[in-house]
Amino acid sequence: MSKHAHIIVFGGFFDPPHEGHLALVKTASRRFPKAQIYVVPSFAPPQTTDKEKLPQATYEQRQMMCHLLFEELEHVEVSNVEKNLSSPNYSLHTLLYFKDLYKPERLSFLMGDDQLKSFTKWHEYKKILEIADLLVAARDDATDREQNWNGQPEFDGKVEFIRNQLSAAQSRLIRENKNEHSDWLDPKVAAYANRHLIYQ
């Protein structure tokens, strides 16, 4: 059964989710108004000993903050699918879940420009390109870069840049000093983080 013709998956740790994440989802929603967007917080922490890369908030807390941030947007849903997938989970497995469940005509993975630069290092990235295209946030006119990426045989028209509202927000900086960067947080998210003593 195909519930949606176009599904956009937006994954990440969202530790915490901030205005930059919200701006990107809004941009994608305006660009593809009929698409269903799934925000998918990562469940398992990365295999690293670097404490800066480990989430400070629990999975349940990150889920709740995402619900608070995105709850008023149409055609946007926060998914807990990665909690139920086998570990270690990779983006490919998440995309396969949505592909197999909904069988959409088009499946897209929404990402930031910095993620595209390291995409060829991702787990089985070529298989990702077999089932999905990449929607990449760009802060400028990226026509030339889009053509360059799509000109590579392994990408073959799989990359689309979308102009995104400029935001300096970074989850890492919020974790390091929430008070200094409180303007990057939605008031409901900030109140939740304060109530649960996250990022103190």
Do residues 185 and 193 make contact, with C-beta atoms less than 8 angstroms apart? yes
Question: Is 60 exceeded by the pLDDT of residue 42?
Answer: yes
pLDDT at 104 over 80: yes
> Mean of the pLDDT values across residues 132-136?
97
Q: What is the pLDDT of residue 107?
A: 98
List C-alpha distances in Å: 160 to 15, 112, 177: 26, 12, 34
pLDDT in tens, 149-190: 988 999 989 999 998 776 889 999 999 999 899 999 999 999
What is the predicted pLDDT for the residue at 110?
97
pLDDT at residue 1, rounded to an integer = 44
The string of pLDDT tens digits covering residues 51-102 is: 566 789 999 999 999 999 999 999 999 999 999 998 788 999 999 999 999 9
Structure tokens at 199: 């990022």
Q: Could you tell me the pLDDT band of residue 34, with boundaries at 50, 70 and 90? A: very high
Q: Cβ distance 6 to 106 under 8 Å?
A: yes
Chain centroid to CA 191? 23
- Average of per-residue pLDDT across 10-35: 95
Return d(Cα 7, Cα 65) in angstroms, integer. 22
pLDDT of 24 strictly over 90:
yes
Three-class secondary structure of residue 76 per DSSP: strand
Mean pLDDT (the chain, rounded):
91
Residue found under tokens 């404490």: 51
**Does 46 have pLDDT greater than 70?**
no
Rounded alpha-carbon distances, angstroms, from residue 120 to 31, 93, 125, 154, 157:
26, 16, 6, 10, 15
Its pTM stands at 0.92
